[in-house]
Structure 1
């Protein structure tokens, strides 16, 4: 399949300065163990070096090959040693290999800021009645190319998930002694059946049909793969718990649960949430933790009644740009165990936020707007490892902060005003290359740390004042010297003028003057 991609020479992905190895072309063994194993067994196709790469390549001293991730799967899955099974699996992932080659040629996925900007520009251009300008059409194609590239990477991610499941079914067939058959269908070893509705679900629907308003349904741990559409139209529902099932998708009909206040979809196999979730205007609690969600829909910002959001243990790389501007009533936000690299500036406008857990991400820092969260009491930022190197000075404005976990990062120096966190009673700074404050100070507890930082700040302020006083004195001295110099020059000028004036009149002049 050919993809019409228009590349603008002026376009540069914000991550283009990063090592290309950072982009995961190959499936991650942690997420797709069988697929990664099979892909590793595929023959590699040599690629033509680019001009820059060719110049950097030294044939006599080639760079050592990049180490491949080691994962030994055959100990747990011994049937992978069977040549016929591996052969069938290779055929099953042919499309994955082809798509990977296409993406490697086209380039890495643009980040969400670039994609959002491209969508905005497209909407702006389309708003014009005509696009007769060649320059305008060129820009339009450029932004469309960015969107197309993002969608291709999104589709590739879904292909990886589907391929892993297909390989799992092939392996199950091999274990059962059935010849592995490559099939594009959803199942290969068992008869395709509709998910049977449990008696419990049937009873709920019958009860609803009788006219009785059902406000709470708990179907956690029922191994459900799907639910009938009629279930998603129980308008009286207030609390719905569908956690610990096998749901792979939530239909758009969920938006019809107009009175829903609590929705628990934790521990399923969801990769996305429907845009119609924005219709749940009364939703206060949302738990979609422990799924495979890669991005939250922007429409979630319309759920303005939300107070508790748990999206932990997913595959998020960012949060919606305007999430903080719209969801101002959130009190508890759990985003730990994702791959988030930065928090949006808007998070500083979550004026009701009391609890924020962002540990085990890839955060490179915090936005300065974090200081606006004056009601924040708990902030957990541990285990962002080499990415988290510093904190903004504005963190000292979190006047109600009681607990702060910064362990397992690369922080060397706390902000100078850190001691202003008067209510801070629990602080974890373990596993950081701290220089300020020294580790011996940290070992004495949070109160000693605050005293140390306040004393250090006072010393800095005093040193700054002394420096400014010295500079002021030097300026005064310079001004005095200048004044004295000016006065001396004036006196000298007067003396010279008088002297020159006296020289101007000779005896001959006086004689001539008397004669006439």
Structure 2
């Protein structure tokens, strides 16, 4: 009996010792110094065998080379990489294993020959900046906006994009969207969900982009809007409600409303003109009920606080902030499709 008790104590001491060793080993792994690997500008045509363990790489720079592909096996082993820069190469595609980069925050694939991005990129949920400028992209993954919830910068200028996927309007962390120099025919209708968007540039889509969605007036954080050099004849009246807007570029469009003499007087005058149109104060404007009017009649907005000449913006009924209704919880609430539906829709 005594022997069994001594043996039991000895086993327990050994188990405790092993647990301490495992804990110490785990702490040592956490303290491993991650490395930056810079192989830019080396005229590489293929990837050399890495001389260090790829799991210790936090930044990998392969820019300004002649790479035509990136091995699937390489990206699958970059477990701790946070920055991957492969700009200015000859890449025609990205490996599907890029979806394994769960810690990736910055991805720069600009200046290549990419025609599409792998759907697996949506698994990079830590991604904050995606730079795909100067490629041959004709479309983005349909579901890109549903999964990249931390994306702050989406840069896709100088491509061949015909449209942005509808899921783009779910990128609620997005601050900068640059889609100039493409072939965009339209923008997603539910832009109001981009509650943190500060800069929107859809300029130089030339004769392709002819209209802007009314929901652009609910981009509460928008500071800069560039719609220059398109085929737009009418700016949505809702732009007059953009309280934080400081810069508006619309030159190079065949604008009828606002007329050129108004545009030349600056942003303050333009916003005043558009606000007046919302209130129906321009007798020569088409007699139509704006979607803002529908919102007021349905008590979504307090009609008494509609914009006036002094530039007041909309105030929510019962003094509620519009921010609350533009949060992801109310996705699509203000989409023009709903707002312009029969009145009976709202009385259900």
For 2:65, the equivalent position in structure 1 comes to 245
For 2:316, the equivalent position in structure 1 comes to none
Q: Secondary structure at the match of 2:279?
A: helix
For 1:366, the equivalent position in structure 2 comes to 187
For 1:324, the equivalent position in structure 2 comes to 145
Point out the more displaced range, 344-353 or 223-232.
223-232
For 2:302, the equivalent position in structure 1 comes to none
Q: Is the 8 A contact 2:276 2:282 kept in 1?
A: no
- Aligned with residue 257 of structure 1, among 74, 78, 103: 78
**1 or 2, which has the higher helix percentage?**
1
Per-residue deviation, 1:233: 5.1
Alignment of structure 1 residues 247-286 onto 2, 5 Å: 247-253=67-73, 254-286=75-107
String of CA shifts for 1:461-481, please: whole Å, max 9, x gaps. 99779xx9xxxxxxxxxxxxx
- Aligned with residue 36 of structure 2, among 208, 216, 219: 216
Q: Is the 8 A contact 2:258 2:273 kept in 1?
A: yes
Distance 2:72 2:134 in 1: 23
Change (3 A) 1:256 1:438: same
Change (3 A) 1:251 1:231: farther
Alignment of structure 1 residues 10-409 onto 2, 5 Å: 214-230=34-50, 234-253=54-73, 254-409=75-230
Per-residue deviation, 1:226: 1.5
For 1:165, the equivalent position in structure 2 comes to none
For 1:12, the equivalent position in structure 2 comes to none
Query: How many pairs were matched up?
Result: 255
Distance 2:288 2:158 in 1: 43
Per-residue deviation, 1:395: 0.5
| Normalised TM-score (structure 1) | 0.48
Per-residue deviation, 1:228: 2.6
For 2:236, the equivalent position in structure 1 comes to 415
Per-residue deviation, 1:231: 5.5
Q: Secondary structure at the match of 2:221?
A: coil
Distance 2:45 2:51 in 1: 14
Q: Secondary structure at the match of 1:227?
A: coil
Distance 2:53 2:172 in 1: 33
Q: Secondary structure at the match of 1:301?
A: helix
Q: Secondary structure at the match of 2:138?
A: coil
Distance 1:413 1:232 in 2: 58
Distance 1:281 1:461 in 2: 54
CA RMSD of aligned residues (A): 1.9
| Contiguous gaps of at least 5 residues in structure 2 | 1-31, 294-348
| Normalised TM-score (structure 2) | 0.70
Per-residue deviation, 1:429: 0.6
Per-residue deviation, 1:369: 1.8
Distance 2:244 2:50 in 1: 51
Distance 2:230 2:52 in 1: 44
Per-residue deviation, 1:399: 1.1
Q: Secondary structure at the match of 2:237?
A: coil
- Aligned with residue 264 of structure 2, among 438, 443, 446: 443
Q: Secondary structure at the match of 2:94?
A: coil
Per-residue deviation, 1:276: 0.3
Distance 1:420 1:366 in 2: 19
Q: Secondary structure at the match of 2:230?
A: coil
Structure scoring higher RCO (CA < 8 A, sep ≥ 6) equals 2
Larger radius of gyration: 1
Per-residue deviation, 1:284: 0.2
Change (3 A) 1:276 1:425: same
Per-residue deviation, 1:408: 0.6
4+ residue segments displaced more than 6 Å: 461-465
| Contiguous gaps of at least 5 residues in structure 1 | 1-211, 469-516
Q: Secondary structure at the match of 1:238?
A: strand
